[in-house]
Amino acid sequence: MSDPDPMPVVTVFLRNRGEVLLFRRSDDVGSYPGRWGAVTGHVENDDPQASAFQEIEEETGLHEHDVTLAQQGSPFTVTDEDRDTRWRVHPFLVDTGTRSIQTNWETAEAEWVSPTTILRRDTVPRLWTSYRRVAPSILGITDDTTHGSAHLSIRALEVLRDRAGMLATSDTSTIEDARARLVDTAHRLLDARPSMAAPANRIHRVMHASRPELLPKTVEINAHEAIQGALTADADAADAAAAQVSGAHVLTLSRSGTVLAALRQADPAPRVSIAVSEPGGEGIGVAEHLVDAGRDVTLLPDAAVARRLDAGSIDAVLVGADTVLPSGAVVNKVGTYGAALAAHRADVPVYAACAVDKISVDGDVSDESVPSRTVYDGPTDLEVWAPRFDTTPAELITGGLLTERGALTTDEVGAATEELAGLRAWM
């Protein structure tokens, strides 16, 4: 007689500011009382995702509109021989902008912590495996064509922190071996998105702060602190941008977390025109998000940007920056240069908003392209040129570079370049 099918369950990690929510299970639950876990529950109606959101509401009080699905991991089976039970675990990672939760009777204690805390606590079986199935990865960073460099830099820091935590708690590696593995991870992260300065600068910042030993535990702590510092810097840059566009009619493009935050929090609320931003079309998602936030939004094709600016209703262009070159030139989603040229002709100021960590230490621009099929997928042997980014000269960023340190002049960008170059000494 075959074993019965494992019982399907969901394990959901709520993430906020790079930390996840863990619960210590109460003595009243039927399984694993006193142990730490995440949001968990049985799969209902053979629908793991719907069950995950239902469990979030039951165990935290957060509703579906309070959270965003970040990752659904591949399921795996857990066998608990002591309980003579098999579970089929469906892992999820869900982002939330709030830490205000209401626990139920199943929870004795709740805490927001670094995910690596799981490695040091008495948890439900294979909780770390569940997390690893949904955790950020180098491949995920490389393949992400939706998010901007600020977002990806946080994910890169999470990868470095998680790897350092695993090495710090391993009893099978020597210090030398652990250090070598950690350095390899750092280099692979540096190579993941070479056109983006923020992930590189933030990885360098952590490794530099961890000198000279580069011990995994030290890197783990510094990476976790760097996540908090990076998020604060990005938020402060958004504040600076919001102050410039409050009450204005703003044109933007692509997806920048800093720009999105600025447009959400600007008061009085700005009116927003946003380009679709092909290839990729991420402007559509931003437009939908801003409408949900109560903003007056107009979506337009990329080819209409110049005409929209020439019509005279736009007060400012606000874009993000994947990288700022030492000259002050801005590398951003393709279409930024054209929008800046049209704005210059229309006498509309152009602002770029980003944290200082997006400033590059050299003037080289890595040439990232999108797959040719995103432009043409027909039968003809047709050459396609599809750059992902373009470079807008500093003189066209007429409103200035808005950062957590305020608006930077070209000389101040140069000084920041020297500061950031010093972080590479760890190598």
pLDDT digits 0-9 by tens, 231-284: 999 999 999 999 999 999 999 999 999 999 999 999 999 999 999 999 999 999
Q: Residue 330 — φ and ψ, nearest 5°?
A: -110, 120
Distance separating alpha carbons of residues 66 and 106, to the nearest angstrom: 21
Q: Taking the model in full, what pTM does it have?
A: 0.88
Residue type, 185: T
CA distance 368 to 361: 18
3-state SS class at 323: strand
Number of other residues whose CB lies within 10 A of the CB of residue 104: 11
CA 104, chain centre distance (Å):
30
Which pLDDT value is given to residue 19?
98
Domains in the chain (CATH in brackets) are 7-134 (3.90.79.10), 138-233 (1.20.120), 237-365+385-426 (3.40.50.10470)
Pairing of strands 350-353, 316-319: parallel
Cα torsion for 37, 155, 338, 278, to the nearest 10°? -50
pLDDT at 9: 97
Residues of the chain with pLDDT under 70: 1-3, 366
3-class state of residue 265 by DSSP: helix
Burial of 178 (0-12, 13-18, 19+ CB in 10 A): buried
User: H or E segment at 406?
Assistant: strand 406-408
Is 110 within 8 Å of 23 (Cβ atoms)?
yes
**Token pair for residue 334?**
């393709």
